[in-house]
A and B are shown apart, each in its own frame.
Chain A
Amino acid sequence: AQSVTQPDIHITVSEGASLELRCNYSYGATPYLFWYVQSPGQGLQLLLKYFSGDTLVQGIKGFEAEFKRSQSSFNLRKPSVHWSDAAEYFCAVGARNNDMRFGAGTRLTVKP
């Protein structure tokens, strides 16, 4: 079965600084990869997804992610973080068995 690891439980960055959230996956076939964001007390919202093709995918709110098969990674990036980006970020991998697995999440704090 597929699995997802988000090594960083909590990250703090200053507003305006760049951001990278790490995600590693384990899956025997070509994965379908997602990043979701969850604001406090809210449901999850899709930021971006990768199915095939260009390994650098653009998402909403200025986020992008790069799929690196050799590293089994799908890291999320943003060049300049805004205070409103403070939230929990979940990486997820979908598989053909109709299952989607979420990582444990990374909580982002943005300092003024």
Chain B
Amino acid sequence: DAMVIQNPRYQVTQFGKPVTLSCSQTLNHNVMYWYQQKSSQAPKLLFHYYDKDFNNEADTPDNFQSRRPNTSFCFLDIRSPGLGDAAMYLCATSRDPVGGQEKLFFGSGTQLSVL
């Protein structure tokens, strides 16, 4: 009964080669988030969608883009991956925006390696 599904589980790409990570949800939640988590660090919010409204964090590099074609799916596009982009990428959802009280539902993540 997976509720937030991320594919693939592991992704290997080459330096500078565009890569797309996908996330789908069966919860019908309004908000979808992408977090980057490097080894032994806290998850860092990259951006989120509230319905179709895109909200980018101020320090998210331009190299990272996102698409949400419908309620269920959200994609993370890395246009030109660098070695420093190797990380676990976590997708999360919430029913409403995290105005403090909403909890997040996480997928299992995609571990990205850049060669």
Contacts and interface: CB of A to CB of B under 8 A. Distances in A.
Interface in B1-34: 4, 6
B45 A99 contact: yes
Interface residues of B, number: 24
B108 A42 contact: yes
A46 B103 contact: yes
Contact of B106 (A45, A96, A104): A45
Contacts of A49: 103
A44 B90 contact: yes
A95 B98 CA distance: 8
Interface string A57-71: 000000000000000
A93 to B, nearest CB: 9
Given A94-B98, A105-B41, A100 B108 contact: no
B107 interface: yes
A34 B98 CA distance: 12
Contacts of B43: 44, 90, 102
Nearest to A49: B103
Contacts of A99: 45, 98
A28 interface: no
A41 interface: yes
B101 interface: yes
Nearest to B57: A99
Given A43-B92, A105-B42, 10 more contacts: A9-B40, A32-B100, A46-B104, A90-B43, A94-B100, A94-B101, A99-B45, A100-B98, A102-B43, A104-B42
Interface of B: 4, 6, 40-45, 55, 90, 92, 97-104, 106-109, 111
Interface of A: 4, 9, 31-32, 34, 36, 41-46, 49, 51, 90, 94-96, 98-105, 107
